[in-house]
Amino acid sequence: MSAATRADVCAVACADLFADDGEILASPMGTMPLIGARLARLTSNPDLLISDGEAYLLAETPPIGGSSPLEGWLPYGKVFDVVAAGTRHVVMGANQVDRFGNQNISCLGEHAQPKRQMFGSRGAPGNTVNHRTSYWVAKHAARLFVPAVDVVSGVGYDRALAAAGRFHDVHRVVTNLAVLDFATADHSMRIASVHPGVTVEQVQAETGFPLVRDDVTTTREPTDEELRLLGEVLDPKGYREKEVPNP
């Protein structure tokens, strides 16, 4: 077990996002969530559907960059149908996240003339009011975890009122330091667990708003089987280590 790196812990924390999802579509954005979704399918949730990131559903669970026989077709038009049906768990990135889980991937500064333009809102507004959404942050930092995001792309709990809240389910934020969730009375962000070797104080110091810090546990270590799957099957080239270097 001592062989587990921080990246391994992150990959397993991303896999655990999907553990209870059942037979739904996993839509992981980015390397670590992708490894996590595939690890979940090989361990906790074999019913999970995964795609090639283009238009096909994969019958097998290939490594990063690998190919697989197909089991279905899911072009963008059908993905929007899945979003509306709610049978999907997306893990998005974020340029900013606030204490109620609002996420910004649109732009920084004033919307009319931003200081920094990013993608635009993409599918974040629709994802967050239709089905379970989690976030992956490879470098936990106070300039990303801000008191208030500049633009609300993904909807957080304070905005998920009335109709917007009907199917709203921002699940967790996994970072290189910790797993955060919103299991508090007012749905403000809480440290669910810190990764092995990380302190609660360290996470708070890298976060631009106060985190609820009751009952913080330690993120679980990967099992031997998970380490084998990560190292030999899913990511033999170690892309996860490039995203999260071992401290």
Does residue 107 interact with other proteins by CB under 8 A?
yes
Q: Which of residues 10, 11, 17, 152 is near other proteins by CB under 8 A? A: 152
Q: How far is the CB of 31 from other proteins (least distance, A)?
A: 14
Task: Classify the phi-psi angles of 179: left when phi > 0, otherwise alpha if psi is within -120 to 50, otherwise beta.
Answer: beta
Q: Exposed e or buried b for every residue in 132-169, given b needs 16+ CB within 10 A?
A: bbbbbbbebeeebbbeebbbbbbbbbbbbeeeeeeebb
- By beta-carbon proximity to other proteins, the closer residue of 80 and 218 is 80
Contact segment (CB under 8 A) with other proteins among 21-29, 38-46, 112-120, 186-194 equals: 112-120
- By beta-carbon proximity to other proteins, the closer residue of 66 and 125 is 125
Q: What is the DSSP letter of 195?
A: P
Does residue 185 interact with other proteins by CB under 8 A?
no
* Burial grade of 102 (CB within 10 A; 0-12, 13-18, 19 or more): buried
Q: How far is the CB of 137 from other proteins (least distance, A)?
A: 16
Q: Which of residues 34, 97, 124, 191 is near other proteins by CB under 8 A? A: 124
CA dist 44 and 49 (Å) reads 13
Q: How far is the CB of 108 from other proteins (least distance, A)?
A: 10
- By beta-carbon proximity to other proteins, the closer residue of 2 and 113 is 113
Does residue 122 interact with other proteins by CB under 8 A?
yes
Query: Dihedrals φ, ψ of 97, to 5°?
Result: -135, 140
Q: Which residues contact 83 (CB under 8 A, 6 or more apart)?
A: 123, 126, 127, 130, 131
Does residue 2 interact with other proteins by CB under 8 A?
no
Secondary structure of residue 85 in the 3-state scheme:
helix
Q: Which of residues 30, 66, 68, 159 is near other proteins by CB under 8 A? A: 159
Interacting residues toward other proteins by CB under 8 A: 54-56, 73, 75-77, 80, 83-84, 106-107, 111-126, 128-130, 151-155, 159-168
